[in-house]
Amino acid sequence: MNVIPTPIPDLFVIEPRVFRDERGYFLEHFNEEKFINAGFHYRFVQDNQSKSSQGVVRGLHYQLAPFAQTKLLRVIQGRVFDVAVDIRKNSPTFGNWYGIELSDDNFLQLLIPKGFAHGFSVISKTAVVQYKCDNFYNSSAEKGILYCDKSLDIDWHVDPKLILVSTKDKMLPDFDNAEMNFLYGDN
Tell me the catalytic residues.
61, 131
Could you tell me where the beta strands, DSSP code E, fall in 46-112?
A: 46-53, 57-63, 71-77, 79-86, 88-89, 97-103, 109-112
Phi first, then psi, for residue 170 (nearest 5°) are -65, -20
Q: Calculate the alpha carbon distances from 125 to 57, 102, 168 in Å.
A: 13, 14, 23
Using DSSP, state whether 26 is helix, strand or coil: strand
